[in-house]
Structure 1
Amino acid sequence: MSYRSGPHGVAAVVLGAGLLLSGCAGGSGGEGGSSVPRTVNDKGGGGQGRAVPGPLAEEQTEARVVRPREIPSLGPKTRSQIPEESRQAVVVTGDAPDSNRAMLVLYERDPVEGWRSVSDPWPAHNALKGWTDDHRQGDLRSPIGVFGLTDAGGRLPDPGTRLPYDRGPAFTLSGVGFEGEPLAGSFDHVVAINYNRQPGTTPLDWTRPLGEGKGGGIWIHVDHGGPTQGCVSLPMGRMKELLRWLDPGKVPQVVMGDVSSLGR
């Protein structure tokens, strides 16, 4: 897939033991409501009684309903934001509202069994000042929410993703991060997070449907060893794994925020 040309400058990185419900239908009793079999004398009377089956009892049945597994760390409000058609979720859980360290876990959804993790927790970084549910340009916090993942790109060749991939020199980054670490190579591979952007375009596209003040250019990109301005970052090897795993046919979403916010 080719993209229309976007702006030449890179966007600043402002960036589930199902519940068992059982019920029994009791067997019908014999005469007088007793469920004990009737007895009659043997022919000629006076002998030992023999058991004769009473009316056939209705077989006991047990209804078993299994609720599909949910992603365990997510509360009902967060779960409700994941589209019904989505079968892949990248869950990024921050340590605390003001923490810039997080863990990322990949989940897939089976239509019957529900969600299951398909990766170990991967260490990640997020924005310097942590998380917010009202992201603003330059606030140095990562936005909390559920967002689609539809587009990728980078300075280096496509490592084998099924997402549209835009390669080019505009993904070059230089300078140093908040802890003095070099930023070079951070955008070698990126996945655009559909926060305040137009899905289906290169990650470099500068369209901001919510307005410039709500920020944008929020990506998952290669980790540079320190906090970001708003993005989520992963080590290079994990970044390649993520790109190869993402499948647009499964409508992947990123679910991101601090642990308390995602638990709502």
Structure 2
Amino acid sequence: MAIAVSVTAVGLALLGAGYVATDHYGTESADNRDTAVGHPAAGAPAHAKSSALPSSDPMPSTIPGLGPKTRAQIPASSRQVLVASGRAKDSSSSLVTLWSRLSDGHWHPGATWAAHNAKDGWTTDHHAGDLHSPIGVFTLHDAGGFDADPGTKLPYDHSSSFHAGGVGFDGETLDEAFDYVIAIDYNRVPGTSPLDGTQPLGSSKGGGIWVHVDHGGPTHGCVSVAAPHMVTLLRTLLPADHPVIVMGDGQSLAR
């Protein structure tokens, strides 16, 4: 589901995600804006080959599938890199892997998960309502959700305002899509709630771009993974490691 989110209830409804006021994942829980790294910095079908997949080297010195142009955008301080690699420029199917940089400079991959991105694929010039996910490297500072904080070190906004209703492009329910979200710093102010609607690049550039719970179909612009994987991400991402997301189709990321 990627969705351009508004801080208002109306905007959330447009995003089309709705939640139930309970923890949907049992013990998994403890109780859309745009900002590039130039601003300081189960359900999806998996493609057989993707740059998100680990190479034969279990501890590579560079993250496989990322070309020099893409790697140059990753801040030197970042020790956690979430790679969301799309199957094709016009595809809504992706693979997601969290890479961690070790003390010796090598990179260690986590599990690779099936994911969704925007309905019409990827773009380097994202605009509101274009049904594309932005390509680039973006910082990850803030999280939140309709469900309680599952144990993240990121600032977490637990709010019923993450509730939204409706159905997705394939007719699937969006009821639990915003149970957990991580704001992607595209056209937003880092250090604020994912619900904050400030858009430094202007409203025409879209916003409300999040990593959120997968609902079984394409998003409006976000990246979505299964609920257990969202919990894993929230518990693993560390502000001290300056996490970023590298997102785009595999061919674009290889440049």
Structure 2 length-normalised TM = 0.78
Name 2:70's counterpart in structure 1.
Answer: 78
User: By how many angstroms is 1:180 displaced?
Assistant: 0.3
User: By how many angstroms is 1:114 displaced?
Assistant: 2.3
* Alpha-carbon distance in structure 1 between the residues aligned to 2:117 and 2:143: 18
One-letter code of the match for 2:149?
D
* Alpha-carbon distance in structure 1 between the residues aligned to 2:132 and 2:7: 24
The answer to whether the 8 A contact 1:135-1:143 is kept is yes
* Alpha-carbon distance in structure 1 between the residues aligned to 2:234 and 2:105: 25
SS at match of 1:150: strand
One-letter code of the match for 2:95?
M
* Alpha-carbon distance in structure 1 between the residues aligned to 2:103 and 2:186: 27
Deviations 1:154-193 (A, max 9, x none): 0000000000000111000110000000010100000000
User: By how many angstroms is 1:102 displaced?
Assistant: 0.2
Larger radius of gyration: 1
Deviations 1:26-47 (A, max 9, x none): xxxxxxxxxxxxxxxxxxxxxx
One-letter code of the match for 1:87?
R
User: By how many angstroms is 1:112 displaced?
Assistant: 2.2
Deviations 1:9-29 (A, max 9, x none): 355555789xxxxxxxxxxxx
SS at match of 1:149: strand
Name 1:90's counterpart in structure 2.
Answer: 82
Equivalent positions of 1:43-122 (< 5 A) are 69-117=61-109, 119-122=110-113
Q: Percent identity?
A: 54
Name 2:165's counterpart in structure 1.
Answer: 174
* Alpha-carbon distance in structure 2 between the residues aligned to 1:132 and 1:157: 33
The answer to whether the 8 A contact 1:69-1:116 is kept is no
Long gaps (5+) in structure 2: 1-5, 16-31, 34-53
The answer to whether the 8 A contact 1:156-1:189 is kept is yes
Deviates more, 1:122-131 or 1:105-114: 105-114
SS at match of 1:244: helix
The answer to whether the 8 A contact 1:155-1:167 is kept is yes
Name 1:204's counterpart in structure 2.
Answer: 195
Name 1:20's counterpart in structure 2.
Answer: none
Deviations 1:113-166 (A, max 9, x none): 32221x221000000000000000000000000000000000000000000000
* Alpha-carbon distance in structure 2 between the residues aligned to 1:171 and 1:7: 9
| Structure 1 vs Structure 2 CA RMSD | 1.9
Match of 1:239 among 230, 245, 249: 230
Long gaps (5+) in structure 1: 1-5, 18-67
Structure 1 length-normalised TM = 0.76
One-letter code of the match for 1:148?
T
Match of 1:183 among 157, 160, 174: 174
One-letter code of the match for 2:88?
A
* Alpha-carbon distance in structure 1 between the residues aligned to 2:106 and 2:204: 38
* Alpha-carbon distance in structure 2 between the residues aligned to 1:102 and 1:188: 21
* Alpha-carbon distance in structure 1 between the residues aligned to 2:177 and 2:75: 30
Q: Which has the higher contact order (CA 8 A, sep 6+)?
A: 2
* Alpha-carbon distance in structure 2 between the residues aligned to 1:106 and 1:234: 12
One-letter code of the match for 2:207?
G
* Alpha-carbon distance in structure 2 between the residues aligned to 1:198 and 1:8: 17
Match of 2:218 among 213, 227, 235: 227
* Alpha-carbon distance in structure 1 between the residues aligned to 2:164 and 2:83: 26
